[in-house]
Chains A and B, each alone.
Chain A
């Protein structure tokens, strides 16, 4: 048993530096160091998560019980914030908007992704890499940039879409004042950002489907549409459910798009027509100095998301055991 001259392995941070070439004969690690090593390796995650993830999450529940003015007083009010919240029309409005935007973005997005995945899933397709890479271009574009561009394209007076509508003789649409139109605008941004990403996910799953299955369908004389209905969709079922749930969790947190569209106000349009739950939380917390009320909204969102995550977990487990 030799003596390890290196510093104790209690932390991993000091291990981050590459050690460089070492002499061919190495000293043996002491058993206690080897026993502790695994803990040291996983510790950074747990420490960081505890301080910046777990604690703030638990603290949200605590703050939600107060009337908490970030620059003034805080008073314990028990569950009053929640009582007010559930009677607050703005909350239900934001919840409704959130779900509306979620449906408007998710359904067309996943349909589009499925179709594109089937089109891309062909070994004889030329320019396949170009097509695939283009699909990720929206993903690398920031939401801030996306929103600014879309606000211009969908602008009421000088936007491209409205210029086109006018050109074909249709009425102009004010995409930020009409409720439904504003949901379409926000959804379009979410859709744009994620449809290519989901296309690639589906494509990967489709490529795992045995070729015989596709070919059997083709030999039977099935065209693209039939193949889509009878091969693509059934074989992607677990992945589809998974992506639905992931986009639900994402959809519950849509924030930047409505914030920038409504800036400098935080109301998501003058009638709160496109204010989402996360924006409502931000408005109350950082716009109206109501940390307690804002945290209560955070708690409700938290519960919603956990519920969807659990559904995700149960569903995907059930589906994988079905197969």
Chain B
């Protein structure tokens, strides 16, 4: 205890205690000198004798300090100073190591933080692992995870005992009107018990009462805390007041706790309502509800799945419409992050590989540095430095490098997270929650420090095994061991193998991305401006009102200067849940019964749509202005529809109806034309059957307006907006963008991942090049004398050059062989991300090999040329 206290105290008064030692020393010398003087010596002579008697002052001081117990700290500080001086002497080496570590730590931390938050962390709900999505699956229709109908949901809710709660959530895009700027908000209508189920307690007010949900329409709304803060300045008095949604009045009854939002960016929730009579008329075949549930305490998802299977089997027997309909439970987190999991884990793998390369590079650089320093070490050993001291100093050197690199890495990581978040596609879930993860940073920093210390230790031990005598004779250059250079060669090979794997992965993804971008989408997105609008039911209660609006708007837009064509469609690019249903073909009434039908996407389009979007009519005619509300119902179908439903028939003139025909009053749609397939969910998604009905015959409230121009589409934005507001002053316009941009966004995630992987592959390649350069430069440096002798004996310079080059290429080449095998083994992992080529695509493999060999050759060229230019006389004299 006392010892520690003294130590701390002395450390705090370090300078003072140094002064005290000096003062004690001076006193001693003085007393000694007086002693000599008393014996009759002259003053100066006495003083000289006293100093001689004292001996080496530094050693004296040293041992005094050592006795005080703070020696280790003082020594550490000295070692650090020594390390900094050493770094200043070889700045290139220091910069290389520090940059390598900083890059490794920074990139790893930044990317891991994103991946961790998006794909690996639990959802922001209590006991989130109990939350599940409840899907309908129908293998015969190719439906994996689909919506369900209200009657089926009610049956599930009444039967399921393994689920503690179950609720429907239906996205409800709404427009906030009334005071201030109209604004599109993300709403969801939810069934009874939703808030209790997900575990989102309210910060203010209450949730919905049972009598407000699932019956008559109750005009109550719960706000998310985020929306409450953004729109209402977090003023608690909003609870109890009313707001206008779609021109209807809603009473705000509650506000949730912050961060508890489901769906992900929900602004508000309204009750799921049917009207008391309508709820009984909800058809069992109308699939439009997504369902979430919470597993009962201690129930495994597999157990609940068994119960749901039994329920589905029972409902299948009871209701023919449920034929081959099953129920699938899926952890909610998987539902949310499912489609990004593979690419993100791929990135994580790439991060690990880069970190590995970083470690190897640091090791190699330290190995090279230690070998070149072995003469210096030998000299210091000969001058009496302790082995332990030398090892300690070398370790301090690598620790300082690792620490500086790690700190720079921390800065890089925090900048990197910001950069990643802004570069990432907006639909990456839970992106707004990404922070630099302290734990991850700690792990990365520990790895970097550990690597630099461990690999600092190997050369340190090696260096101190050097026999000072032999090493000081210049001929024995640094007494390298064969084992060490084999290790370094293996490291170089390993780096090339890892870089190769990354390059191949990046190459496959980038080529897939290019293939996808080059895929003909079936429409022409260039030169088209797209805006979305939604007619509030309050002001547009019926078809006439909506038709009048559409007519006026189309007319105004067509007369805008610079506009070549105008068209509207419900939504050209499909969301995850487009409006879809099943159809019956008049001439094939039994088709629906076979259970093999695929849901058909239903759209209402204006006559000008096909020409505006650049979709070609391949048979029959397009839709025309003459297809008015009172004319016979017509439709244009896409090629996939014709192939799936009208195989072997001439589509034009065939008739279909939605669902099943029910006698006299059945509304039949006559197919008047076939339009080319458009890839509306992105180039990598299959085309689904679709029908296009005239807007005039089914005037929708939600429309996407497309305007084609030869000018810059965005230059029309203001005019289009003005034209819309000329028809309806209060109508909000959303998603103003070019169609090209919107189409590009479909590939944004792919572009993000390919781009990141490409950056990683480049970094890996550069690191591998630095690695091989370091090794070859070292080899040449060590063999200068041997090369000099060979040149003196008549070896020609090209031979020397190719010899060195060959040695480097052998290391790189063996790495490529290993890398090829590894890539073939890993091909399975990326298969789902590869489009339009094989995941073992030979071209990519060959190109990656060629690129790496070229880089290796360039990196080896500098040392090889230096070897070839060795002057025999100089080389021999130097020894």
A and B held together in a complex: no
Please list the residues of chain A having a beta carbon within 8 angstroms of any beta carbon in chain B: none
